[in-house]
């Protein structure tokens, strides 16, 4: 696509599809604003860019110049950032059109996109189910065909888990590979942006367009990323694949999900890979460590929402009262829960017992994975223990909701990379995902392995626009 009229046609088609899929509540941008912005972008996009004319939706916790950034929260309702995220700027430089902001769990805190201040999102295959979270809006728009690609963010699995539940590809890059500049902070040592697409190749294309060193992010890796697109079709002959025992046999795993992992193992073996099981014993403590570390960092990061500098301000005669009333009115129940958990973990007398101990467990997990990668090039596991669950099924039980991320959290704690690939449908017609994991900076071998699985599974199931609308 190099003709401006083609880009305009692509922009209009994307807006029309998003309108038709309004029932999903996956896009938060008003349609008039979306149409106007897409038309302007299409007329000024770079024709030579590798993403020229491609509409890419962006999660609402990632700053854009074209649209407001609310993080799915009332405390930032109507907030317009004076700058844009580096990842977004790079996508635009490659010719992409930013197709609105997608619904998400408030500040990325959730696994179902039911904790948004602007209403829950719905699964594109089944309106009674969740699309996963916290990047559920992005996954739903890609799965339904509204946009060919979208950008999400991960703190504990918020790209891979909704990708699995919605039947699309979603990758969590190595921590520092994609700049965090312009991504509203939840837990700074864990946050990382990642793309959604319907194919591994498109996911790799977006990743190559937006990754690389950024002087605006002190955690950005200075070395040049290894090209990944050129190596996608090299196959997996001779590749060493380890099936993670603790994640494959996690409590509550759905039989169909377990069967999908077995199928993935068989596909790898048929393609010439050497497959064996591997134990990573400390992963059983990953969930507990994560839900101390992430809330602790959140309690620090979210202290900036005080009603003084930006966002919501509740009227009050005194500053301290105004701070309290603003947070009471602006934050939702799940955000308040995690702030309180984190504040408690960091409080005097409990810091070493909770936060310090969680960081030591994190080190154990990193070491266990390092030992696993001495034997194997990539690892294989479920992405989520179950397929998409019913709306409201876990909102009253936070622990049950947290368990949705038990298979994804370890990769965030280690700072490594992983990708979810569609592996079929369960008996209810809901997508199943399996994930491939690789060590830090291992995106080239990761995507090669993912492409092999994609070819083997040949997943093509998609809801029609009429069924999803």
Kindly report, residue by residue over 274-302, the tens digit of the pLDDT.
999 999 999 999 999 999 999 999 999 99
Examine the residue annotation and report whether 158 is marked as an active-site residue of this protein. yes
Q: What is the pLDDT of residue 5?
A: 79
Residues 279, 363: one domain? yes
pTM comes to: 0.97
Options 158, 179, 404, 452, the catalytic residue: 158
Last residue of one domain, picked from the residues 354, 380, 403: 354
Model pLDDT for residues 4-47, shown as the tens digit of each residue: 678 999 999 999 999 999 999 999 999 999 999 999 999 999 88
Peptide bond into 227 cis (omega under 30): no
Options 134, 138, 144, 153, the catalytic residue: 134
Average pLDDT of the segment spanning 57-71: 98
Integer Cα distance of 258 and 445 in angstroms: 24
Q: Facing residues of 419 across strands?
A: 171, 436
Options 59, 90, 92, 101, the catalytic residue: 59
Q: What is the pLDDT of residue 46?
A: 82
Closest-CA residue to 205 (of 122, 90, 73, 304): 90
Examine the residue annotation and report whether 22 is marked as an active-site residue of this protein. no
Residue 466 has pLDDT above 70, yes or no: no
Last residue of one domain, picked from the residues 354, 383, 410: 354
Integer Cα distance of 155 and 158 in angstroms: 6
Residues 307, 243: one domain? no
Q: How many structural domains is the chain composed of? A: 2
Residues 203, 215: one domain? yes
pLDDT over 70 percentage in the chain: 98
Integer Cα distance of 466 and 78 in angstroms: 31
Q: What is the pLDDT of residue 465?
A: 57
Residues 206, 93: one domain? yes
Estimate the crossing angle of helix 200-210 against helix 443-457, to 10 degrees.
160
Residue 468 has pLDDT above 60, yes or no: no
Closest-CA residue to 299 (of 259, 247, 355, 251): 355
Q: How many CB atoms lie within 10 A of CB 48?
A: 9
Examine the residue annotation and report whether 74 is marked as an active-site residue of this protein. no
Closest-CA residue to 297 (of 352, 362, 345): 345
Last residue of one domain, picked from the residues 354, 380, 397: 354
Confidence of residue 464 (pLDDT cuts 50, 70, 90): confident
Residues 183, 53: one domain? yes
Residues 376, 324: one domain? no
| Structural contact between residues 334 and 120, judged by C-beta atoms closer than 8 angstroms | no
Residues 347, 445: one domain? no
Q: What value does the mean pLDDT of the chain take?
A: 96
Phi first, then psi, for residue 150 (nearest 5°) are: -150, 160
Residues 400, 430: one domain? yes
Residues 431, 413: one domain? yes
Average pLDDT of the segment spanning 223-230: 93
Please report, for residues 98, 112, 154, 280, 345, the alpha-carbon distance to residue 294 in angstroms, rounded to integers and kept in the order given. 29, 18, 12, 22, 11
Residues 382, 244: one domain? yes
The CATH number given to whatever domain includes residue 383 is: 3.90.1300.10
Closest-CA residue to 280 (of 469, 466, 79, 437): 437
Average pLDDT of the segment spanning 232-260: 97
Average pLDDT of the segment spanning 303-330: 96
Residues 127, 38: one domain? yes
Model pLDDT for residues 375-416, shown as the tens digit of each residue: 999 999 999 999 999 999 999 999 999 999 999 999 999 999
Range of the domain at 378: 4-288+355-468
Residues 175, 196: one domain? yes
């Amino acid at each position: 696509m190099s003709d401006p009229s083609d880009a305009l046609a692509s922009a209009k088609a994307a807006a029309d599809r998003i309108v038709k899929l309004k029932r999903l509540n996956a896009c938060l941008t008003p349609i008039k604003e979306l149409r106007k912005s897409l038309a302007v972008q299409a007329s000024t996009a770079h024709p030579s860019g590798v993403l020229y004319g491609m509409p890419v939706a962006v999660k609402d916790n990632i700053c854009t110049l074209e649209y407001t950034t609310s993080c799915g929260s009332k405390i930032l309702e109507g907030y317009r950032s004076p700058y844009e995220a580096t990842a977004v700027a790079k996508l635009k430089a490659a010719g992409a059109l930013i197709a609105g902001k997608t619904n998400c769990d408030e500040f990325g805190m959730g696994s179902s996109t039911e904790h948004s201040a602007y209403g829950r999102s719905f699964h594109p295959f089944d309106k009674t189910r969740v699309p996963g979270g916290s990047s559920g809006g992005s996954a739903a728009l890609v799965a339904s065909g509204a946009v060919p690609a979208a950008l999400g963010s991960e703190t504990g699995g918020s790209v891979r888990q909704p990708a699995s539940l919605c039947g699309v590809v979603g990758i969590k890059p190595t921590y520092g590979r994609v700049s965090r500049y312009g991504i509203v902070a939840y837990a700074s040592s864990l946050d990382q942006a990642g793309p959604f697409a319907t194919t591994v190749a498109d996911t790799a294309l977006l990743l190559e367009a937006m990754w690389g060193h950024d002087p605006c992010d002190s955690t950005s890796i200075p070395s040049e990323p290894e090209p990944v697109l050129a190596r996608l079709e090299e196959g997996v002959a001779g590749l060493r694949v380890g099936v993670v025992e603790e994640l494959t046999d996690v409590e509550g795993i759905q039989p169909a999900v377990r069967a999908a992992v077995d199928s993935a193992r068989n596909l790898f073996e048929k393609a010439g890979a050497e497959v064996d099981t591997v134990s990573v014993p400390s992963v059983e403590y990953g969930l507990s460590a994560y839900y101390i570390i992430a809330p602790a960092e959140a309690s620090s990061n979210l202290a900036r929402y005080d009603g003084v500098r930006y966002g919501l301000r509740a009227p009050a005669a005194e500053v301290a009262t105004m701070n309290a009333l603003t947070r009471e009115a602006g934050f939702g129940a799940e955000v308040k829960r995690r702030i309180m958990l984190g504040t408690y973990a960091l409080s005097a007398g409990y810091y070493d017992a909770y936060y310090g101990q969680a960081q030591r467990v994190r080190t154990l997990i990193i070491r266990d994975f390092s030992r696993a990668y001495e034997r194997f090039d990539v690892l294989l596991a479920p992405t989520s223990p179950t397929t998409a669950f019913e709306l409201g099924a876990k909102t009253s039980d936070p622990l049950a909701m947290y368990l949705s991320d038990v298979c994804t959290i370890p990769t965030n704690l280690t700072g490594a990379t992983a990708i979810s690939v569609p592996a079929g449908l369960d008996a209810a017609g809901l997508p199943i995902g399996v994930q491939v994991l690789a060590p830090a900076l291992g995106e080239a071998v990761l995507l090669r392995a993912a492409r092999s699985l994609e070819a083997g599974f040949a997943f093509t199931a998609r809801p029609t626009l009429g069924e999803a609308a």
